[in-house]
Amino acid sequence: MIIRPRRLRRTPVIRDMVRETTISVKDLIYPLFVKSGKNIKDPIASLPGQFHFSVDTITQDVNEIWELGIPAVILFGIPDRKDSVGSRAYADDGVVQSAISAIKKEVPEIVVITDVCLCEYTDHGHCGIIKNGQVDNDATIEVLALEAVSHARAGADIVAPSDMMDGRVAAIREALDGAGFKDTGILSYAVKYASAFYGPFREAADSAPQYGDRKGYQMDPANAIEALKEASLDIDEGADMIMVKPALPYLDIITRVREQCLLPLAAYNVSGEYAMVKAAGQKGWIDAASVMMEMLTSIKRAGADLILTYFAKEAAKIIKSTT
Protein backbone atom coordinates (compact mmCIF):
# COMPACT_ATOMS: atom_id res chain seq x y z
CA MET A 1 0.00 0.00 0.00
CA ILE A 2 1.23 3.48 -0.83
CA ILE A 3 0.72 6.21 1.78
CA ARG A 4 -0.64 9.14 -0.23
CA PRO A 5 0.11 12.62 1.27
CA ARG A 6 -0.92 14.08 -2.09
CA ARG A 7 -4.59 13.51 -1.18
CA LEU A 8 -4.36 16.56 1.06
CA ARG A 9 -2.80 18.64 -1.73
CA ARG A 10 -5.53 17.84 -4.25
CA THR A 11 -7.60 21.04 -4.18
CA PRO A 12 -7.00 24.63 -3.04
CA VAL A 13 -9.66 24.27 -0.36
CA ILE A 14 -8.11 21.14 1.13
CA ARG A 15 -4.70 22.77 1.02
CA ASP A 16 -6.14 25.76 2.84
CA MET A 17 -7.64 23.48 5.51
CA VAL A 18 -4.36 21.77 6.32
CA ARG A 19 -2.05 24.78 6.01
CA GLU A 20 0.08 24.99 9.14
CA THR A 21 1.37 28.53 8.87
CA THR A 22 -0.56 31.65 7.97
CA ILE A 23 0.50 35.26 7.95
CA SER A 24 -1.89 37.86 9.25
CA VAL A 25 -1.65 41.57 8.55
CA LYS A 26 -1.52 41.89 12.35
CA ASP A 27 1.90 40.23 12.34
CA LEU A 28 3.51 43.02 10.34
CA ILE A 29 5.48 46.06 11.48
CA TYR A 30 6.39 48.68 8.88
CA PRO A 31 9.74 50.54 9.06
CA LEU A 32 9.67 54.24 8.14
CA PHE A 33 12.47 56.78 7.65
CA VAL A 34 11.88 60.34 8.75
CA LYS A 35 14.14 63.32 8.09
CA SER A 36 13.95 67.01 8.86
CA GLY A 37 12.46 69.41 6.33
CA LYS A 38 9.05 69.92 4.78
CA ASN A 39 7.02 68.29 2.08
CA ILE A 40 9.58 65.54 1.48
CA LYS A 41 8.76 62.13 0.05
CA ASP A 42 11.98 61.10 -1.66
CA PRO A 43 12.44 57.59 -3.03
CA ILE A 44 15.30 55.64 -1.41
CA ALA A 45 17.45 54.27 -4.25
CA SER A 46 18.71 51.24 -2.32
CA LEU A 47 15.18 50.29 -1.19
CA PRO A 48 12.83 50.52 -4.19
CA GLY A 49 9.32 51.43 -3.05
CA GLN A 50 10.52 53.01 0.24
CA PHE A 51 10.83 56.73 0.96
CA HIS A 52 12.39 59.37 3.12
CA PHE A 53 9.54 61.33 4.65
CA SER A 54 9.42 64.63 6.46
CA VAL A 55 7.20 64.93 9.53
CA ASP A 56 4.36 66.55 7.56
CA THR A 57 4.22 63.84 4.87
CA ILE A 58 4.77 60.79 7.08
CA THR A 59 1.30 61.03 8.59
CA GLN A 60 -0.36 60.46 5.20
CA ASP A 61 1.57 57.28 4.77
CA VAL A 62 0.79 56.15 8.30
CA ASN A 63 -2.90 56.67 7.56
CA GLU A 64 -2.61 54.36 4.59
CA ILE A 65 -0.67 51.78 6.65
CA TRP A 66 -3.37 51.83 9.32
CA GLU A 67 -6.15 51.52 6.71
CA LEU A 68 -4.43 48.38 5.41
CA GLY A 69 -4.73 46.90 8.89
CA ILE A 70 -1.02 47.04 9.75
CA PRO A 71 -0.93 47.64 13.52
CA ALA A 72 2.51 49.18 13.99
CA VAL A 73 5.33 51.22 12.49
CA ILE A 74 8.94 51.52 13.57
CA LEU A 75 10.60 54.89 13.07
CA PHE A 76 14.19 55.64 12.06
CA GLY A 77 15.45 59.22 12.09
CA ILE A 78 17.86 61.03 9.84
CA PRO A 79 18.74 64.12 11.86
CA ASP A 80 19.47 67.64 10.64
CA ARG A 81 22.98 67.46 12.09
CA LYS A 82 25.29 64.89 13.63
CA ASP A 83 27.92 65.17 16.35
CA SER A 84 30.26 62.88 18.24
CA VAL A 85 27.73 61.99 20.96
CA GLY A 86 24.59 61.85 18.83
CA SER A 87 22.85 64.61 20.77
CA ARG A 88 20.01 64.94 18.24
CA ALA A 89 18.98 61.41 19.22
CA TYR A 90 17.62 62.59 22.57
CA ALA A 91 16.51 66.13 21.68
CA ASP A 92 12.84 66.66 22.42
CA ASP A 93 12.56 68.62 19.15
CA GLY A 94 14.40 65.86 17.23
CA VAL A 95 13.01 64.47 14.03
CA VAL A 96 11.75 61.16 15.47
CA GLN A 97 10.22 62.90 18.49
CA SER A 98 8.35 65.30 16.19
CA ALA A 99 7.20 62.43 13.97
CA ILE A 100 5.87 60.48 16.96
CA SER A 101 3.70 63.40 18.11
CA ALA A 102 2.45 64.07 14.58
CA ILE A 103 1.56 60.40 14.03
CA LYS A 104 -0.11 60.06 17.41
CA LYS A 105 -2.23 63.15 16.67
CA GLU A 106 -3.28 61.83 13.25
CA VAL A 107 -3.65 58.06 13.94
CA PRO A 108 -3.74 57.70 17.74
CA GLU A 109 -4.31 53.96 17.78
CA ILE A 110 -1.40 52.84 15.64
CA VAL A 111 1.44 51.39 17.70
CA VAL A 112 4.48 53.61 17.37
CA ILE A 113 7.78 51.82 17.92
CA THR A 114 11.06 53.71 17.77
CA ASP A 115 14.51 52.45 16.96
CA VAL A 116 16.79 53.48 19.82
CA CYS A 117 20.38 53.73 18.60
CA LEU A 118 23.03 56.35 18.00
CA CYS A 119 24.48 55.35 14.61
CA GLU A 120 22.18 57.66 12.66
CA TYR A 121 23.06 60.56 14.95
CA THR A 122 26.83 60.30 15.42
CA ASP A 123 29.27 61.85 12.94
CA HIS A 124 31.46 58.73 13.17
CA GLY A 125 28.49 56.43 12.43
CA HIS A 126 29.06 54.05 15.35
CA CYS A 127 26.21 52.98 17.60
CA GLY A 128 27.69 54.58 20.71
CA ILE A 129 30.06 57.00 22.36
CA ILE A 130 33.71 56.59 21.36
CA LYS A 131 36.37 56.59 24.08
CA ASN A 132 39.97 55.69 23.30
CA GLY A 133 38.97 54.56 19.84
CA GLN A 134 36.36 52.07 21.14
CA VAL A 135 32.59 52.24 21.58
CA ASP A 136 32.31 52.72 25.33
CA ASN A 137 29.53 50.51 26.63
CA ASP A 138 28.60 52.23 29.87
CA ALA A 139 28.76 55.79 28.55
CA THR A 140 26.58 54.70 25.62
CA ILE A 141 23.78 53.17 27.65
CA GLU A 142 23.32 56.44 29.54
CA VAL A 143 22.69 58.24 26.25
CA LEU A 144 20.43 55.46 24.98
CA ALA A 145 18.35 55.81 28.13
CA LEU A 146 17.97 59.56 27.46
CA GLU A 147 16.93 58.77 23.89
CA ALA A 148 14.36 56.19 24.99
CA VAL A 149 12.84 58.55 27.56
CA SER A 150 12.58 61.37 25.02
CA HIS A 151 10.78 59.00 22.61
CA ALA A 152 8.42 57.97 25.41
CA ARG A 153 7.80 61.63 26.30
CA ALA A 154 6.83 62.29 22.67
CA GLY A 155 4.32 59.43 22.87
CA ALA A 156 6.10 56.29 21.66
CA ASP A 157 4.33 53.08 22.71
CA ILE A 158 7.40 50.86 22.49
CA VAL A 159 11.12 51.63 22.27
CA ALA A 160 13.43 49.25 20.45
CA PRO A 161 17.12 49.42 21.34
CA SER A 162 19.22 48.18 18.39
CA ASP A 163 22.72 49.09 19.58
CA MET A 164 23.80 45.76 21.17
CA MET A 165 25.41 47.36 24.23
CA ASP A 166 25.47 45.20 27.35
CA GLY A 167 22.97 46.14 30.04
CA ARG A 168 21.02 48.60 27.96
CA VAL A 169 17.61 47.01 28.46
CA ALA A 170 17.92 47.31 32.25
CA ALA A 171 19.21 50.88 31.96
CA ILE A 172 16.36 51.88 29.64
CA ARG A 173 13.74 50.17 31.83
CA GLU A 174 15.03 51.97 34.90
CA ALA A 175 15.12 55.33 33.13
CA LEU A 176 11.60 54.89 31.71
CA ASP A 177 10.21 53.90 35.10
CA GLY A 178 12.08 56.75 36.80
CA ALA A 179 10.56 59.26 34.35
CA GLY A 180 7.04 57.90 34.91
CA PHE A 181 6.79 55.83 31.72
CA LYS A 182 6.11 52.48 33.32
CA ASP A 183 3.74 51.51 30.50
CA THR A 184 6.18 52.17 27.66
CA GLY A 185 7.30 48.79 26.35
CA ILE A 186 10.72 47.56 25.26
CA LEU A 187 11.21 45.50 22.12
CA SER A 188 14.84 44.52 22.38
CA TYR A 189 16.95 43.76 19.34
CA ALA A 190 18.33 41.01 21.57
CA VAL A 191 19.97 38.89 18.90
CA LYS A 192 21.47 41.18 16.30
CA TYR A 193 24.21 39.91 14.06
CA ALA A 194 27.02 41.91 12.44
CA SER A 195 25.47 41.44 9.03
CA ALA A 196 26.27 42.61 5.51
CA PHE A 197 22.52 42.50 4.87
CA TYR A 198 22.19 45.97 6.49
CA GLY A 199 23.92 47.64 3.52
CA PRO A 200 20.88 49.28 1.88
CA PHE A 201 19.62 50.52 5.28
CA ARG A 202 22.92 52.23 6.04
CA GLU A 203 22.66 54.06 2.75
CA ALA A 204 19.06 55.02 3.53
CA ALA A 205 19.81 56.12 7.10
CA ASP A 206 23.25 57.56 6.29
CA SER A 207 24.56 55.49 9.20
CA ALA A 208 27.53 53.52 7.87
CA PRO A 209 30.48 53.57 10.30
CA GLN A 210 33.10 56.03 9.03
CA TYR A 211 35.88 53.69 10.16
CA GLY A 212 36.04 50.11 11.40
CA ASP A 213 32.94 47.93 11.64
CA ARG A 214 30.31 46.86 14.16
CA LYS A 215 31.84 43.48 15.01
CA GLY A 216 32.87 44.67 18.47
CA TYR A 217 29.23 44.96 19.50
CA GLN A 218 27.02 43.05 17.06
CA MET A 219 27.10 39.25 17.07
CA ASP A 220 29.26 36.89 15.05
CA PRO A 221 27.06 35.19 12.40
CA ALA A 222 28.66 31.88 13.31
CA ASN A 223 27.25 31.85 16.85
CA ALA A 224 23.98 30.24 17.94
CA ILE A 225 24.44 29.42 21.63
CA GLU A 226 25.45 33.02 22.21
CA ALA A 227 22.09 34.03 20.71
CA LEU A 228 20.29 32.09 23.43
CA LYS A 229 22.41 33.84 26.03
CA GLU A 230 21.73 37.31 24.58
CA ALA A 231 18.01 36.53 24.49
CA SER A 232 17.88 35.37 28.09
CA LEU A 233 19.90 38.36 29.33
CA ASP A 234 17.47 40.80 27.74
CA ILE A 235 14.48 38.88 29.07
CA ASP A 236 15.96 39.02 32.57
CA GLU A 237 16.64 42.73 32.18
CA GLY A 238 12.96 43.37 31.51
CA ALA A 239 12.37 43.28 27.75
CA ASP A 240 8.69 42.89 26.82
CA MET A 241 9.44 41.42 23.41
CA ILE A 242 12.65 40.38 21.75
CA MET A 243 13.90 40.30 18.20
CA VAL A 244 16.20 38.28 15.99
CA LYS A 245 17.84 40.20 13.15
CA PRO A 246 18.35 39.60 10.22
CA ALA A 247 15.65 37.00 9.57
CA LEU A 248 16.33 34.78 6.58
CA PRO A 249 19.94 33.73 7.13
CA TYR A 250 19.02 33.13 10.80
CA LEU A 251 15.82 31.07 10.65
CA ASP A 252 17.50 28.41 12.81
CA ILE A 253 18.14 31.05 15.45
CA ILE A 254 14.50 32.18 15.35
CA THR A 255 13.42 28.60 15.99
CA ARG A 256 15.85 28.07 18.83
CA VAL A 257 15.09 31.37 20.54
CA ARG A 258 11.34 30.70 20.15
CA GLU A 259 11.74 27.40 21.97
CA GLN A 260 13.25 28.95 25.07
CA CYS A 261 11.50 32.33 25.19
CA LEU A 262 8.14 33.06 26.79
CA LEU A 263 7.80 36.50 25.20
CA PRO A 264 6.49 37.52 21.80
CA LEU A 265 9.31 37.08 19.29
CA ALA A 266 9.90 39.44 16.38
CA ALA A 267 12.18 38.98 13.40
CA TYR A 268 13.57 41.76 11.21
CA ASN A 269 13.40 41.00 7.50
CA VAL A 270 16.15 43.53 6.84
CA SER A 271 17.00 45.90 4.02
CA GLY A 272 19.36 43.57 2.15
CA GLU A 273 16.78 40.77 2.15
CA TYR A 274 14.24 43.20 0.68
CA ALA A 275 16.60 44.77 -1.84
CA MET A 276 17.71 41.41 -3.27
CA VAL A 277 14.12 40.42 -3.99
CA LYS A 278 13.33 43.81 -5.52
CA ALA A 279 16.44 43.76 -7.72
CA ALA A 280 15.92 40.22 -9.00
CA GLY A 281 12.22 40.97 -9.52
CA GLN A 282 13.02 44.09 -11.56
CA LYS A 283 15.27 41.99 -13.78
CA GLY A 284 12.48 39.49 -14.28
CA TRP A 285 14.56 36.71 -12.76
CA ILE A 286 12.06 35.87 -10.02
CA ASP A 287 8.39 36.53 -9.33
CA ALA A 288 9.01 39.04 -6.54
CA ALA A 289 5.53 38.89 -4.99
CA SER A 290 5.59 35.09 -4.68
CA VAL A 291 9.12 35.13 -3.31
CA MET A 292 8.08 37.76 -0.78
CA MET A 293 5.18 35.66 0.52
CA GLU A 294 7.35 32.53 0.63
CA MET A 295 10.00 34.39 2.63
CA LEU A 296 7.51 35.88 5.09
CA THR A 297 5.91 32.46 5.54
CA SER A 298 9.30 30.93 6.29
CA ILE A 299 9.95 33.52 8.99
CA LYS A 300 6.63 32.75 10.67
CA ARG A 301 7.08 29.01 10.24
CA ALA A 302 10.47 29.30 11.94
CA GLY A 303 8.68 30.73 14.98
CA ALA A 304 8.46 34.51 14.72
CA ASP A 305 5.24 36.08 15.95
CA LEU A 306 5.92 39.48 14.42
CA ILE A 307 7.86 40.52 11.32
CA LEU A 308 9.41 43.91 10.73
CA THR A 309 9.45 44.24 6.97
CA TYR A 310 9.64 46.81 4.17
CA PHE A 311 7.22 44.44 2.39
CA ALA A 312 4.48 45.12 4.95
CA LYS A 313 2.21 47.18 2.69
CA GLU A 314 2.60 44.91 -0.33
CA ALA A 315 2.11 41.80 1.77
CA ALA A 316 -0.95 43.31 3.49
CA LYS A 317 -2.58 43.91 0.10
CA ILE A 318 -1.95 40.30 -0.97
CA ILE A 319 -3.14 38.88 2.36
CA LYS A 320 -6.32 40.96 2.16
CA SER A 321 -7.06 39.86 -1.40
CA THR A 322 -6.60 36.16 -0.58
CA THR A 323 -8.47 35.89 2.73
Based on CB atoms, which residue is closest to ligand PBG, 21 or 134? 134
Name which of residues 219 to 258 contact ligand PBG (CB under 6 A).
Answer: none
- If binding is defined by CB under 6 A, does position 202 make contact with ligand PBG? yes
Based on CB atoms, which residue is closest to ligand PBG, 181 or 217? 217
192: annotated active-site residue: yes
Based on CB atoms, which residue is closest to ligand PBG, 140 or 271? 271
- If binding is defined by CB under 6 A, does position 147 make contact with ligand PBG? no
- Choose the stretch contacting ligand PBG; rule: CB under 6 A; options: 77-85, 96-104, 137-145, 198-206: 198-206
35, 245, 278, 313: the catalytic one is: 245
Among 122, 140, 162, 184, binds ligand PBG (CB under 6 A): 162
Based on CB atoms, which residue is closest to ligand PBG, 102 or 270? 270
* Number of residues located near ligand PBG, criterion CB under 6 A: 11
Report the 3 state secondary structure along the chain.
CCCCHHHHHCCHHHHHHHCCCCCCHHHEEEEEEEECCCCCEEECCCCCCCEEECHHHHHHHHHHHHHCCCCEEEEEEECCCCECCCHHHCCCCCHHHHHHHHHHHHCCCCEEEEEECCCCCECCCCCCEEECCEEEHHHHHHHHHHHHHHHHHHCCCEEEECCCCCCHHHHHHHHHHHCCCCCCEEEEEEEEECCHHHHHHHHHHCCCCCCCCCCCCCECCCCCHHHHHHHHHHHHHCCCEEEEECCHHHHHHHHHHHHHCCCCEEEEECHHHHHHHHHHHHCCCCCHHHHHHHHHHHHHHHCCCEEEECCHHHHHHHHHHHC
Tell me, residue by residue from 93 to 132, as one string, x for binding to ligand PBG by CB under 6 A and - for no binding. ----------------------x-x-x-------x-----
- If binding is defined by CB under 6 A, does position 191 make contact with ligand PBG? no
182: annotated active-site residue: no
192, 278, 300, 313: the catalytic one is: 192
Q: Which residues are catalytic?
A: 192, 245
Interface with ligand PBG (CB under 6 A): 115, 117, 119, 127, 162, 198, 201-202, 214, 270-271
